């Protein structure tokens, strides 16, 4: 059975990277942990044991989410739940038993380093990444 240990990271899309960095870094005290080249468009900030990923809308990572955040465009790309240690086969079995469609498991970098994860959608269509360190 799947057991959530906590939130690993959230991904926010932005056209105001400077203002977002000022808010999360200077106002809230989150430290920049990782930045990718501008064309990739990712800045990761440490928020306790989790990460806040800021993705610029016009970047490689931001373009699939649509136009700039607004009334009809997404602001949040996805959020990631860190699972208690569990085998990939057990996650797959659990998702199938609940009729949840899922893609391929891939190795991705999160708040706890490299780990295997898979994307699913909740009933409203929000993207949820499930991540395990096993």
CATH architecture of 4-132: Roll (3.10)
- Asked if 45 contacts 52 with a C-beta cutoff of 8 angstroms, the reply is yes
- Asked if 95 contacts 86 with a C-beta cutoff of 8 angstroms, the reply is no
pLDDT digits (tens, 9 = 90+) for 43-53: 999 999 999 99
Residue-range domain boundaries for the chain: 4-132
What is the pTM (predicted TM-score) of this model? 0.79
Written as six digits, the tokens of 129 are 């990444």
pLDDT digits (tens, 9 = 90+) for 38-95: 889 999 999 999 999 999 999 999 888 888 877 777 788 899 999 999 999 999 999 9
């Amino acid at each position: 059975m799947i057991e959530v240990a906590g939130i690993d990271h959230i991904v926010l899309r932005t056209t105001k990277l400077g203002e977002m960095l000022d808010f999360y870094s200077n106002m809230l005290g989150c430290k920049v942990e990782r930045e990718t080249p501008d064309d990739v468009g990712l800045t990761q900030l440490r928020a306790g044991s989790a990460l806040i990923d800021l993705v610029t809308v016009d970047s490689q990572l931001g373009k699939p989410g649509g136009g700039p955040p607004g009334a009809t465009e997404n602001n949040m790309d996805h959020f990631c739940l860190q699972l208690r240690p569990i085998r990939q086969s057990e996650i797959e079995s659990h998702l199938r038993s609940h009729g949840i469609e899922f893609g391929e498991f891939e190795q991705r970098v999160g708040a706890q380093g490299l780990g295997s994860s898979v994307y699913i959608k909740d009933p409203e269509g929000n993207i949820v990444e499930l991540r395990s360190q096993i």
